[in-house]
């Protein structure tokens, strides 16, 4: 993004459980290629570039004095074993070191091993993620202001499903933060 606020025509009539979404750039061209190669091919040398983009947007658009914790979107254990890492945790942990806000891993879990979202439309994505997440320790989020981190915001279904359980678990506010916004 070039720094302006975008109101998405698709999103404006949807109910989201996060208060707003911050995305560093568009998920096309080189950015999309970097994300896909990092996430699916484990080409880890793209990680620092993704972190730089994420941190740039995070510093510009989020007041970190108002944030209690960073929460990476969890992967289902089977998918994590297959990939050998969680890209959201990688991003969240790196961001945590820069902004000096704790990254809370393991307090939210993915309870359903959902099929990949890449080929699904918005309605199918939302259906696919219904009940996919659960909070392990609601005390960890009670009254907290959270930044929920993932690599890409396409329809918002993953972030929304995760934000919903965080809000149900007592979170005061959830802001979604991603490296890229789907086009």
User: Which pLDDT score, from 0 to 100, does residue 6 have?
Assistant: 56
User: Between these two residues, 27 and 116, which has the higher pLDDT value?
Assistant: 27
pTM for the full model?
0.89
User: Which pLDDT score, from 0 to 100, does residue 3 have?
Assistant: 54
> Side-chain half-sphere of 93: how many Cα atoms within 13 Å?
11
Mean pLDDT of 157-170: 95
Q: Which domains does the chain have, with CATH numbers?
A: 20-181 (3.40.50)
Q: What is the rounded distance in angstroms from the CA atom of residue 173 to the CA atom of residue 145? A: 5
Split at pLDDT 50, 70, 90, the class of 1 is very low
């Amino acid at each position: 993004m070039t720094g302006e606020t975008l109101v998405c025509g698709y999103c404006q009539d949807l109910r989201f459980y996060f208060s707003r979404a911050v995305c560093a750039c568009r998920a096309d061209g080189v950015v999309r290629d970097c994300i896909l190669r990092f996430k699916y091919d484990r080409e880890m040398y793209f990680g620092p570039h993704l972190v730089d983009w994420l941190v740039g947007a995070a510093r510009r658009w989020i007041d970190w004095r108002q944030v209690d914790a960073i929460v990476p979107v969890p992967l289902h254990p089977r998918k994590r074993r297959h990939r050998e890492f969680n890209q959201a945790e990688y991003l969240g942990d790196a961001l945590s070191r820069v902004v000096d806000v704790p990254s809370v891993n393991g307090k939210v879990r993915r309870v359903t091993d959902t099929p990949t979202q890449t080929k699904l439309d918005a309605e199918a994505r939302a259906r696919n993620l219904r009940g996919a997440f659960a909070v392990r320790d609601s005390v960890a989020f009670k009254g907290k202001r959270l930044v929920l981190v993932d690599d890409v915001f396409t329809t918002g279904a993953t972030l929304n499903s995760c934000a919903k359980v965080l809000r149900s678990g007592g979170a005061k506010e959830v802001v979604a933060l991603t490296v890229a916004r789907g086009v």
